[in-house]
Amino acid sequence: MNDRRPTGLLVLCLLLAPGVAACEASAAAPEADPPAVVQEVPGSDVKTVRLSDDAADAVGIETATVGRAAAPGKLRIPYAAVLYYLDGSTWAYRVEEKNTFRRVPIRVESISGDVATLTAGPPVGSTVVVVGATEVLGAELEISGEQ
């Protein structure tokens, strides 16, 4: 576990014994990174969501690679990566970089077992979120888990 308390500051505070009470607040552990940072994508109504390492681990993010379907021009992704939005549109979260995700529109042609065949979506070779996509959506929409 990474203990990020400023021990040097604590030692300095102890050496200045009369001012120990004043030092306690500044010697406290720094605030942890927020679990999610949501940023606007210029010219779009979707946002990028960056999860902290701890949040990504807690959610259990798992990903898969977008593949080419047997039919020309079609894509394949795990059905678990498909998100249905409030208006019925379908989306998936593409991995932009480590723990950073962007919701992209997809068009589902068919579902067979645990595989969705798409007529539109992220390019072959892209990485999409399979486990944890609903939690990423909740972070994007700024929905607290306590509601």
Whole-number Å distance between alpha carbons of 42 and 24: 43
Residues of the chain with CATH 2.40.420.20: 36-140
What's the Rg (C-alpha) of the chain?
22
CATH architecture of 36-140: Beta Barrel (2.40)
Q: Express each pLDDT in 29-69 by its tens digit.
A: 556 678 899 998 888 888 899 999 999 999 999 999 999 99
Tokens standing for 143? 């929905």
Pair 11, 26: CB distance under 8 Å: no
Report the range of poorest mean pLDDT among 13-27, 62-76, 82-96, 131-145.
13-27
Tokens standing for 127? 């990485």
Tokens standing for 72? 């020309």
